[in-house]
Amino acid sequence: MMEALDRLPDQINEMISDFVAPAMFGNDYFGFTQYIFWMLIAIAILLIVLFAAKKRQSLVPHGRFVNGVEALVEFARNDIVYGVIGHKTGDKHMPFILTVFFFVLINNLVGLIPGCRPGTGTIGVTFAVALCSFVYFIALSIKIMGVGGYIKSLAPKGIALPIALLVAVIEAFSVILRLVTLAIRLFANMFAGHIAMGAFALMVSVMMGAAFQVVTAASFGAALAPIAIMLILILIYAIEMLVAFIQAYVFAVLSAVYIQLAEGEE
């Protein structure tokens, strides 16, 4: 028992280092990693689900599959797009917001499958998705106000030039910070969840191996320990499913908030 527990830290370190997935081909700088592979699988699953739901769609939806997809789409439309941006301008931004929401959600859910490495499990992909949102609302602001108008909007009117320049620099930094927080928040939450699940899974495997020794020693009470840990693992897995949804929701809501701010500057 103690010998198995002594090996646990080494197994956890190995699990953490395994998250740095080597390139399937190419090199560590320009290569096709397992994260990219499973991201493409997630995109394929998303397209199949949406096309299948569209094909089976009717005036009165039938079946749990179609109703489930429509309920999720309506939730994202009503709570994120209309709830944040509003009905007046929300429709034109709906394709982008829903794309971001479903892309993050399906990648998060794929990451819950043992052995899979989701795109949202690496900072490169989360940064790329955050960059898309960043470019979208910056381009929208420039489209509404023009380049000069957007630069002027970084500092309030009616203040001295030196203070205006200082405020503009701080505001520009806060705008760039939106990109960083979007990317890091998603990556950090998903990475932490996977590490927690992996650590408990290792504990279950270690405790299960030790349980057989305990049973042969006729100590029934101690044999219940791995079962308790397994129940905790199931609970964490359920929480991770909720976190996968919440993170997709938060990412889409923040993107919608930034778009709404740009629309409000018109």
* 45-81 pLDDT per residue, tens: 888 888 887 776 665 566 777 788 888 888 889 899 9
Between CA 81 and CA 257 the distance in angstroms is: 9
196 occurs within a structural domain: no
The three-state secondary structure class of 23 is strand
71 C-beta neighbours (distance < 10 Å), count? 12
User: Range of 31's domain?
Assistant: 22-187+241-264
pLDDT tens, position by position, 90-142: 888 999 999 999 999 998 888 888 777 777 878 888 888 899 999 998 898 88
141 occurs within a structural domain: yes
- For position 97, what pLDDT does the model report? 92
> Token pair of 75, please?
């939730």
| Residue 153 burial (C-beta neighbours within 10 Å; 0-12, 13-18, 19+) | middle
Band (204; pLDDT cuts 50, 70, 90):
low
207 occurs within a structural domain: no
67 occurs within a structural domain: yes
pLDDT tens, position by position, 21-48: 555 555 555 566 778 888 888 889 888 8
| Residue 171 burial (C-beta neighbours within 10 Å; 0-12, 13-18, 19+) | middle
Between CA 212 and CA 217 the distance in angstroms is: 9
What separation, in Å, do the N-terminal and C-terminal C-alpha atoms of the chain show? Answer: 67
Between CA 139 and CA 169 the distance in angstroms is: 19
Angle at 19 between CA 15 and CA 23, to 5 degrees: 130
165 occurs within a structural domain: yes
Report the domain count for the chain.
1
Between CA 36 and CA 29 the distance in angstroms is: 13
78 occurs within a structural domain: yes
- For position 98, what pLDDT does the model report? 92
170-179 long-range contacts, CB within 8 A, separation 24+: 175/138, 178/134, 178/254, 178/258, 179/127, 179/130, 179/131, 179/134
- For position 162, what pLDDT does the model report? 77
- For position 168, what pLDDT does the model report? 81
Between CA 21 and CA 38 the distance in angstroms is: 12
Q: What's the predicted TM-score (pTM) here?
A: 0.76
142 occurs within a structural domain: yes
38 C-beta neighbours (distance < 10 Å), count? 22
Strand partners, 25: 32
| Residue 221 burial (C-beta neighbours within 10 Å; 0-12, 13-18, 19+) | exposed
Q: Strand runs (DSSP E) across the chain, as ranges?
A: 23-26, 31-33
> Token pair of 187, please?
């990556």
**What kind and span of H or E run contains 133?**
helix 123-153
- For position 125, what pLDDT does the model report? 84
Which positions ≥6 away from 168 have C-beta within 8 Å?
151, 154, 155
226 occurs within a structural domain: no
| Residue 51 burial (C-beta neighbours within 10 Å; 0-12, 13-18, 19+) | exposed
